[in-house]
Every structure is written in structure tokens, then in C-alpha cells.
Amino acid sequence: MISNLFLTAWRNMRRHFSYTLLNILGLTLGIATSIIIFLVVRNELSYESPLITGKPDYVEPELLDASNSDETRRGGPAAAPLSLLPRPQPSTDPP
């Protein structure tokens, strides 16, 4: 029974090839557009997720004083305590 339906559909697709091609191209374009819109909306909404969850994606590195050992460093290797940074040496060149 179902094979008769597929056979009839196949005959109609062969008989009306231009309409079949137009329908398939329209369906392909519609699906592709829907996927692109979905991806753009998901990307735009992802920027507000730290505001909703309360957890920021990135924390600014803080330069901490070495005498205050109670605080922890939250920035990785770029956030060195001030006492570990090299001090600028005065220039010995004449002006």
C-alpha cells in the first residue's frame, strides 16, 4: 500500500521536475535560514548568562600587596603582587 504512494510521488516528481526542484530549493533555503537564526540568537543570548547565573566568565587580574596574605590572587600568572614586580632603575645617562 505504501509502495503505491511512493511510486505515485516519484512519477509526479519526474513529471513536474521544475516544481519539484523549486520546492526542494525552497525547503533547503528555509531550513538553512532557520539554523542560522537559531545560532545567532543563541550567541546573542549567551552574553547575558553571567548576569543570570551570577558567575562572571572573566575576573580582572588584581595586583595585591604581598603583606596581605589573606587575599587570594584571582587572575592567574599575570596578576603578580606588587612586591614581586621589578622596580624601575634610575637612568644614568646624561640628559
Average pLDDT, 10 consecutive residues per value, the chain (95 residues): 92 93 96 97 78 61 47 51 68 69
C-alpha Rg value of the chain to the nearest Å: 32
pLDDT score recorded for residue 83: 64
39-66 burial, b at 16+ Cβ within 10 Å, e below that, comes to eeeeeeeeeeeeeeeeeeeeeeeeebee
Q: What is the distance between the alpha carbons of residues 36 and 86, in angstroms, rounded to a whole number?
A: 51
pLDDT score recorded for residue 65: 44
* CA pseudo-torsion sign 63, 86, 92, 94: negative
Q: State the helix-helix crossing angle for 17-46 and 2-15, rounded to 10 degrees.
A: 100
